Structure 1
Amino acid sequence: MLAGCGASKSSNQVKNKVTWMQTSELSSMDVSKMTDMISDTTLNGTNEGLLRMVKGNRLIPGVAKSYHVSKDGLTWTFNLRHSKWSDGTPVTAKDFVYSWRRTVTPKTAGEFAYTFDHIKNAKAINQGKMAPAKLGAIAKSPYKLVVHLTRPQSYFKYLVSQAYFFPQSQAAVKKFGAKYGTTSRDMVYNGPFKLTGWTGTNDTWSLVKNNQYWHKSAVKPDQIKFQVEKDPSTVVNQYQSNKLDVAILSGQQVQQYRHNKQLHIRKNAQMWFMEMNQKKYPFFRNHNIRKAISLSIDRNQFTKKVLQDGSTPSKGFVALGLGSRNGRDFADDAYVKSAVTANSAAAKKLWLKGLKQTGKKTVSFTLLADDTDTGKRSAEFIQSELDKLPGFNVAVENLPFKTRLTRSANGQFQMVLSSWTGDYPDPMTSLSNMTSHSSYNNGKWTNRQYDRLVEAAEGKDANRPQQRWRDMVKAEKVLANDEGIVPLYQAAVPQLVKPGIKGIQFFPESPEWDWSKIYRTK
């Protein structure tokens, strides 16, 4: 596909096609049920919400051509443009209302349902206490959507740009039934591209230009072909033989290419951490045990000697770059150095104390991780660090991404390496995940003080920026000191890009990529 350039027609075909590597499988295209970054970025390419996130944390009009916020911050009115689904039917305010109701309905089990909590009645609906029809999102007319919040939420404008706030066609959901969002054919699209060639289980798929998209004239590529590659040597071979235009390197490969102009180190807001299943395994509820596990891991060695890809040790759960005040980054303000700094002597002492408190002499647990090269090397390193604790026997199980994700969400793990990428430039994009009621709190860590601080930041202090900041800083410190999870590192994407590929738009937060401006010069 990418070889040769004979006649003018062939040249044009080559110019507008790009082959892009992905590290994991595509999991779901169901707006209400997707949970992972691959699905999120693909949905962002194929669908569109009220607003669109672009580089520099800017928002531009999407389906909504304009919007207005009331003085008290509780009523948001969106004026929609006349756009269409890929099947030619109109996208209307009812599609947003239906989508949001579907997500917060308990039987849907949407893991992003908690992000709708500020919308009137959303929480009660998700708890099964109220009918979905009572949601505070109203289609005043086919092209006017009014949203009523229960309390101000300054970053609501960023939320409506995210995939979980996208519209859904009720007719399409009914038509495709249980297959909806499970293959490229069982879905309709209202964004720059349509998804093709995805069966639900295969490792290749493509985005092709959506001729029904309202702004199709601004979409440059005709096709972006995605290919999952997990073996590092295969990745390089594919790239060097021009079978990949964009590839992600791993480990020492980054050092080998460090002087090559085709290497781009992209710092994102993805945080990797370890969760311990505190609901099913009371052993992990012991603070000394959790603290010992965290202190036994040398994050500097992990990032510099094992990962070697530009990733950096995490300062906490919230990534650097997700918020600042008075020139100070949130991650710096909330930094608890002692919680993420290796100390083998202290770790052993705390571990032995924890064993005594739990009545154990030896314990055996399994650590789940992805079956990617990075996942395997990460799990091996963590295993070697934890094996230094007396009587701690750690086994490793590497699983395909989709399987690991499902096991994590269902609590079918003992310990697991997880990640989270911030959706919007505010610390709450991460902090809200660790409240006791969040569906993303897979390890089921609970702390009343933490819950109260997050609730204050989202409630009584929502319109008091200084106090809200203090609430969030205190919450992050509570999480760090209690070792609710074990923060590991902030990821980087070491990417090789062919010299002829231009227009790649990357931003640290979700959805990371805007593929609509990519083009080939040769």
Structure 2
Amino acid sequence: MFMRTKAMLKIGGVGLLTALVLAGCGSKSSDSGTKKQTANWMVAANINTMDASKMTDLISSQHINATNEGLLRMAKDNSVVPGVAKNYTVSKDGKTWTFNLRHSKWNDGKPVTAKDFVNSWQRTVNPKTASQYSYIFNNIENAEKINAGKMALSKLGVKAEGNYKLVVHLIKPQSYFKYMVSQSYYFPEETSIVKKYGSSYGTNAQKNGYNGPFVLKGWNGTNDSWKLVKNPKYWNAKSIKLDQLNIQAIKDPNTALNGYQSGKLDFTTLSGTQVKQYKNDKNYHVYKQASIYYLEMNEKKFPMFKNKNLRKAFSLAIDKKQLANKVLADGSQAPKGFVADDMSQRNGKDFADESYVKGAVDYNLAEAKKYWAKGLKETGKKSVSLTLLSDDTDVAKRTTEFVQSQLTKLPGVKITNQNVPYKTRLARSAAGQFDLVITAWNADYPDPSNFLDILTSKNAYNNGKWSNAQYDALVKKSEGVDAANETARWKDMVQAEKILMNDQGIVPLYQPAISTLMKPKIHGVQFFPTAPQWDWSKISVK
């Protein structure tokens, strides 16, 4: 999900803790006298939206995943398990997927039907919706033409055959489609609720329908605390042990740690020196993410950044190892490229290793100054003043300060940092209202294409507007003529990644890890390196 978010999905955080007034574990249920299983969790950002068609960030994706369910669900070891679909079949040519749906319900008791999937997918590709994730549907017949306004919504290659059979027609084989339909952008939307609320659908907890393990309560669209309550209408409600998850958005790591230490939080993330302090604690856990934080240079606003030498100078001027190991010091690592490592393997080889371009992620200030001088001469510039945009979290602030200190070692470079709330950064990035921006992409599914797609020339997430015809052609080839040939497809993607890195289309900064403390009474938390990362549906409190 940029996620990604990541997409990128896009990742970040905002949300000031004003009070840690959270329900304690083991509180009595008023109706049954039995103990309720309740846990208290923190996240680094507010929910941006609960509209799956408009969602772009990881935090929203996590909550949509917790409260809704698609055809399949992500499971351990890059596997999928039945969700709303009890089973599915794929045609011999790999282009027709048929999902047989179980008889499940929305939280208001109405049936979840194949038509809810059709309407949801049509809504996402509808150009009027302006979904940044519409591109993810492009392999479904006619999706691209519909999104371009050149064809009617009814022509989308997804059909409801009765209430409980969904047939999807793809343009070409797509082996990882099973992962895609497990992600929130492919979830159903309750048709009657979407119609009822229109443009305000998904803007608060009430203006939504839920068919997943939990129902969202107490989120008004902007507040910093809310809760997930067990959904009795969920088809597999008997497997859900947790009655309530109280969630608080906390951007200050010290405030979060204080909440954990005082017993008001059962889970918290750690940052900076906190990691060193607690890494030997028995309740310390570190989770490596399939995510990359990177620097985008706005080539549309500053045509000088179309110059490869200037882009390479910026990359070489930033010491990624120092950023990960000394500044962040939270388990994050220096990147090998744009595609995260330990995510995609083929024949025992990791994609990040096969596509590694050492010079694109190295630190060499002397070489950086040479490229900078050459680029300035080629563009007729002598100096440049730039604003570096990022989030206003503790981690983001420390990152921008470090990047600022590194880039200003180049002659004639002045950098002003601008740390803003997460939603603001997302909006400005999408609108191209930045000089430089630190952003991130978190993979939605474990395939390199999830990263590579977003930097093709016309992708909505390519906010810096870097463009390379050869790169575009290779990505297209991997998803077209070579789609059914796994060996050729892999080679296409490796070559595309090398072109991106050799051309320095973006500057990878670090691959994050999540360092955490979790109370030993919390069991069953599932973590996925790709989106949605946290699956709370198997939590129990003992």
Change (3 A) 1:36 1:47: same
**2:343 is equivalent to residue 322 of structure 1:** yes
1:26-52 deviation digits (Å, cap 9, x = unpaired): 101001000000000100000000000
Return the alpha-carbon distance in structure 2 between the equivalents of residues 13 and 288 of structure 1: 67
Q: Decide whether aligned partners of structure 1 residues 9 and 169 sit closer, same or farther in structure 2, where only a CA change above 3 A counts.
A: closer
Is the CA contact (8 Å cut-off) linking 2:28 and 2:34 kept in structure 1?
A: no
Whole-Å separation in 2 of the counterparts to 1:286 and 1:268: 32
Q: Deviations over 1:306-346 (max 9, x none)?
A: 00000000100101122112211000000000110001011
Alignment partner of 2:91 out of 67, 70, 76: 70
- The separation in 2 between residues aligned to 1:129 and 1:3, in whole angstroms, is 55
Query: Does 2:536 match 1:515?
Result: yes
Any conservation in 2 of the 1:179–1:186 contact (CA below 8 Å)?
Answer: yes
User: What is the rounded CA distance, in whole Å, between the counterparts of 2:110 and 2:431 in structure 1?
Assistant: 37
- CA apart distance, 1:359: 1.2
Partner residue of 2:168 out of 138, 147, 151? 147
Task: Give the aligned partner of residue 5 of structure 2.
Answer: none
Counterpart of 1:161 in structure 2 is 182
Match of 1:285 in 2: 306
1:505 paired residue number: 526
1:398-477 matched pairs, under 5 angstroms: 398-477=419-498
Deviation at 1:348, TM superposition (A): 0.3
The separation in 2 between residues aligned to 1:399 and 1:406, in whole angstroms, is 11
Cα distance in structure 2, aligned partners of 1:2 and 1:435 = 46
Q: Separation in 2 of the partners of 1:107 and 1:4?
A: 45
> Which 5+ residue runs of structure 2 have no aligned equivalent?
1-21
2:147 to 106, 119, 126: 126
Structure 2 residue 50 is the aligned partner of structure 1 residue 26:
no
Q: How much has 1:233 moved relative to structure 2?
A: 1.6
2:221 aligned residue: 200
Aligned residues of 1:296 and 1:344 also touching (Cα < 8 A): yes
Helix, strand or coil at the partner of 1:237: helix
Cα 1:201–1:13, aligned 2, differ >3 Å: closer, same or farther? Answer: farther
Structure 1 residues 14, 272: closer, same or farther in 2, change over 3 A?
farther
- CA deviation map 1:133-158 (0-9, x unaligned): 10000111111111111111111111
Give the Å deviation of 1:351: 0.5
Determine helix, strand or coil for the equivalent of 2:511. Answer: strand
Verify: 1:84 aligned to 2:105, yes or no: yes
Kindly report which structure 2 residues correspond to 1:62-461, keeping only aligned pairs within 5 A, or say none: 62-461=83-482
Q: CA deviation at 1:3?
A: 4.8
Kept in 2: contact 1:15–1:520 (CA 8 A): no
In 2, the alpha carbon distance for the partners of 1:160 and 1:497 equals 30
What CA deviation, in whole Å up to 9, does each residue of 1:489-514 have, x standing for no partner? 11100011011111111111111111
Once the two structures are superposed, residues 351-383 of structure 1 have per-residue CA deviations (whole angstroms, 9 ceiling, x without a partner) of 011111111111001001110000000000000
What is the CA-CA distance between 1:179 and the residue it aligns to? 1.5
- CA shift digits 1:386-425 (9 cap, x unpaired): 0000001000000111111111112111111111111111
| SS of aligned partner of 1:312 | coil
**Which residue type is aligned with residue 64 of structure 2?**
L
Identity of aligned residues (%): 58
Q: Distance in 2 between matches of 1:334 and 1:105?
A: 36
Q: How many residues align?
A: 521
Instruction: List per-residue Cα deviations over 1:468-493 (Å, max 9, x = no partner).
Output: 11100000000001111100111100
Is this contact kept in 1: 2:389–2:425, CA < 8 A? yes
- For residues 216-260 of structure 1, what are the alpha-carbon distances to aligned partners after superposition, in whole Å with 9 as ceiling and x for unaligned? 001111110110111122111111101111001110100000110
Q: Structure 1 residue 481 and structure 2 residue 513: aligned?
A: no
Q: How has the CA–CA distance of structure 1 residues 403 and 164 changed in structure 2, closer, same or farther, with 3 Å as cutoff?
A: same
Partners of 1:4 and 1:447 lie apart in 2 by 54
Q: CA deviation at 1:12?
A: 7.6
Letter in 2 for 1:420: W
Deviation of 1:21 after TM superposition, in Å, equals 0.5
Work out the CA distance in 1 between the residues paired with 2:164 and 2:365.
Answer: 61
CA contact (8 A) 2:25 2:38 kept: no
Q: Secondary structure at the match of 2:478?
A: helix
Superposed CA RMSD: 1.5
Query: 2:299, 2:40 → 1: CA distance?
Result: 42
Of the structure 1 ranges 144-153 and 318-327, higher mean CA displacement relative to structure 2 is found in 318-327
Structure 2 CA distance for partners of 1:68 and 1:3, relative to 1, 3 Å: closer
- Give the structure 1 partner of residue 57 of structure 2: 36
Is this contact kept in 2: 1:5–1:11, CA < 8 A?
no
How far did 1:178 drift? 2.0
Contact 2:80 2:179 in 1 (8 A): yes
Alpha carbons of structure 1 residues 489 and 87: separation in structure 2 relative to 1, 3 Å: same
Distance 1:12 1:154, change over 3 A: farther
Q: What TM-score does the superposition give when structure 2 sets the normalisation length?
A: 0.94
SS of 1:32's equivalent in the other structure is: coil
The structure-2 alpha-carbon separation of the partners of 1:429 and 1:6, relative to structure 1 and needing over 3 Å to count, comes to closer
Q: Secondary structure at the match of 2:397?
A: helix
CA distance in 2 between partners of 1:59 and 1:159 (Å): 10
CA contact (8 A) 2:27 2:36 kept: no
Structure 1 residues without counterparts, runs of 5 or longer: none
1:16 and 1:221 in contact (8 A); partners too: yes
Report the TM-score, using the length of structure 1 for normalisation.
Answer: 0.98
**Once the two structures are superposed, what CA deviation does each residue of 1:245-302 show, in whole Å capped at 9, x if it has no partner?**
1001110100000110111011111110011111221021111110000000001100
Alpha-carbon contact 1:15-1:519 (below 8 Å) kept: no
Tell me the distance in 1 between the aligned counterparts of 2:35 and 2:305.
55
CA–CA distance in structure 2, aligned partners of residues 233 and 76 of structure 1? 49
Q: Deviations over 1:46-105 (max 9, x none)?
A: 000000001221100001001000000011101011111111111111111111111011
C-alpha distance in 2, partners of 1:352/1:136?
52
| Maintained 8 Å contact 2:201/2:208 | yes
Secondary structure of the residue aligned to 1:91 is: coil
Alpha-carbon distance in structure 1 between the residues aligned to 2:32 and 2:233 = 25
